[in-house]
Structure 1
């Protein structure tokens, strides 16, 4: 990235934080209740580091500052390649893209949370690896709230049962749910999907089933629609282009 573009990242990040804060205010939510995740797919390492350093500088010395940004990678190979070069900044790293069974071991070496568990079978593979290594992995269940064939995730009708089965597995900690909003210019349709995810989360969280009480997170909303997601209760919003600019084709 050019020096000029790197300098812009801090300002873009501040603008994204301001959007989240305004959305929280409009939704009568507590400041800082929606956390920012930087979606860093195809973003060069110097861009990711610039964003993390700008975030740390903006929060320095401010006891009321929001929580540090999270880092989210779509591809395991990028996750693994970048992680050693970010270790000194100690970000919390999430996998936000599909996880193939042959990449589980690689992902577990780096990711603190896998947001894209969409089946019990995948959860069981993760749980087996985690139990063998004596660790507990945070996971979110991904739900396809829009019904679009291009989207990954459990069907909404199966999401509650899937999540409760995941919550019961040793080695995993169910933290909530994730979705990619509908690809639509109709805000009502997009928001309805986010509302559905919140309702699924609430049903699981309040079920009384073992391991379900910690399912509080809602990872939903991106650069173009984060206000709609925050209005429906998002606790994590994933922003990429709003901070890093348009991705190269």
Structure 2
């Protein structure tokens, strides 16, 4: 291993250790914190070498935004016998024409936000004799630029997904609104509180357990953990800055 590769692995290991310590500290602070919180490494546009290094350091949960990019990376990883199998979540928008490629490729599809998409995923999964794990994406901030079902329509979508035997609904996901880090914490927590309280309401009204809350990113994951996140999505703070596009 070259000196640069060794340094890169050392940096990744240090970042991973720091982030896990921050998560544990947030769990101790937050009255709503979950007992188990997973760190999802957002690896979109990151080189495969960094993903391999992070897997080598013991981290096995990744998130990708694009089906084709994920296909290439996951295939490359399967060719390395020495690496344990990592799990990949789809955290970006899924177009219906990409569903056939996404089902089975991703361990969890987090971005299900409409019944038509859920039905298409279920149709493909059923044909293949699979049960696809999914999460429901909620637009907690009511921003037009954000994907996700609005909270008022979430109950119906939850029931629609539960009616599809080929899907396993695991929880809720949101992408919170961007708020400056120096803003009041109460404002920065709003989306996380909305998602946590919605989860409680859906569990009661739909008669289902939804163990996962995927919320919080690099700038606000500690607040998300305090408010009950079970999955936090961190990109460059763990894997480093993404390479510039040509």
Tell me if TM exceeds 0.5. yes
Structure 2 counterparts to residues 153-192 of structure 1, below 5 A: 153-185=148-180, 186=183, 187-192=185-190
Provide the secondary structure at the position in 1 that maps to 2:127: helix
Match of 1:60 in 2: none
Whether the aligned pair in 2 keeps the contact of 1:116 and 1:178 (CA below 8 Å) is: yes
In the comparison of the two structures, how many residue pairs are matched? Answer: 234
Distance in 1 separating the partners of 2:174 and 2:105: 22
Deviation string 1:173-232 (CA, Å, 9 cap, x unpaired) is 1100000111012332231111001111111122354xx23x121000011101110111
> What displacement does 1:32 show?
5.4
Deviation string 1:15-50 (CA, Å, 9 cap, x unpaired) is 111111111111157785111111101110010111
Question: Structure 1: which 4+ aligned runs deviate by more than 4 Å?
Answer: 28-32
Match of 2:42 in 1: 39
Distance in 2 separating the partners of 1:174 and 1:129: 16
Provide the secondary structure at the position in 2 that maps to 1:207: helix
Query: CA 1:31/1:194 → structure 2, altered by over 3 Å: closer, same or farther?
Result: closer
Pairing partner for 2:122 from 105, 119, 127: 127
Unmatched tracts of structure 1, length 5 or more: 57-67
Whether the aligned pair in 1 keeps the contact of 2:173 and 2:213 (CA below 8 Å) is: yes
Whether the aligned pair in 2 keeps the contact of 1:221 and 1:228 (CA below 8 Å) is: yes
Unmatched tracts of structure 2, length 5 or more: none
Query: CA 1:49/1:147 → structure 2, altered by over 3 Å: closer, same or farther?
Result: same
| TM-score normalised per structure 2 | 0.89
Distance in 2 separating the partners of 1:197 and 1:234: 9
Match of 1:65 in 2: none
Match of 2:146 in 1: 151
Provide the secondary structure at the position in 2 that maps to 1:204: helix
Distance in 1 separating the partners of 2:92 and 2:15: 24
Distance in 2 separating the partners of 1:216 and 1:31: 10
Match of 1:77 in 2: 68
Distance in 1 separating the partners of 2:113 and 2:201: 18
Match of 2:225 in 1: 230
Match of 1:193 in 2: 191
Whether the aligned pair in 1 keeps the contact of 2:60 and 2:85 (CA below 8 Å) is: no
Distance in 2 separating the partners of 1:6 and 1:150: 37
Whether the aligned pair in 1 keeps the contact of 2:43 and 2:62 (CA below 8 Å) is: yes
Distance in 2 separating the partners of 1:30 and 1:159: 23
